[in-house]
Amino acid sequence: MDIKPRRTPSVMAEGSDNGYRRPPLNSQLKSSGMITKLHGGDTWQVWKIQIFNLIQTAPNAEEILTGEIQESDPDYSLAIDIALGSLIGQTVQVDALGSLALSINGPKREKRGSALYAILRSPHERTDEATQRQMLGTLATLRQNGISLDFLFQLLNVTFSKAFSAGIELTEGMRRSYLMSSLDPRYSVF
């Protein structure tokens, strides 16, 4: 008598003949607790990097999230898009849900991650010319004015990240120049 061990659905492969399928982004949804919660512009860059790191192994997930793959594309998966929406919902702080509440609870009851990501992204990653000029103006006028060097470095790094999000590429030389011009005059080498 040949006894074969019975495999449970949790260890069966996605393509097995028993009809069991793991939900899309199952492991990513389980790992979402490790992501810094999005609660505004201060955590946008960190949250975005962590989300993209988490979904990078799922086929087409990044492209679906950013809208590079649309519903009309043959590589589009509504199941993945909805799973991305669940992931976003789990990683956004309650106070930041305000911008999503109308879309989620409104007449459309939006569940797609691509739509929710676009709503979250719009205030944090504006790339229009006015935003770029504003960022360059901020960098040009930023001064130490009695704040500590540590805080100034943090402020500059955040501002550099926002400038990058606005589509401004700053070379190392430009970053050094902005740093030097923001320092208190007592640090001047001239």
On the question of pLDDT at 14 being above 50, the answer is no
d(CA 75, CA 113): 16
CA trace torsion 46, 48, 54, 58 (10° rounding) = -160
Q: Which two tokens stand for residue 48?
A: 């975005």
* pLDDT over 90 percentage in the chain: 31
CB 36 within 8 A of CB 46: yes
Q: Which two tokens stand for residue 88?
A: 């976003």
Q: Could you give the angle at the alpha carbon of 27 between the alpha carbons of 161 and 46, nearest 5°?
A: 10
pLDDT value of residue 190: 59
On the question of pLDDT at 103 being above 50, the answer is yes
| pTM for this entry | 0.61
Give the tens place of pLDDT for each residue, 127-172.
788 888 998 999 999 999 889 989 999 999 888 888 887 888 899 9
Phi, psi of 12 (to 5 degrees): -75, 145
**Coil/strand/helix, residue 165:** helix
CB 39 within 8 A of CB 96: yes
**Coil/strand/helix, residue 10:** helix
Give the tens place of pLDDT for each residue, 29-72.
677 777 888 887 778 888 888 999 999 988 899 999 999 999 99
Mean pLDDT estimate for the chain? 80
For 27, counting Cβ atoms within 10 Å of its Cβ (0-12 exposed, 13-18 middle, 19+ buried), the class is exposed
Give the tens place of pLDDT for each residue, 86-96.
899 888 887 76
On the question of pLDDT at 17 being above 60, the answer is no
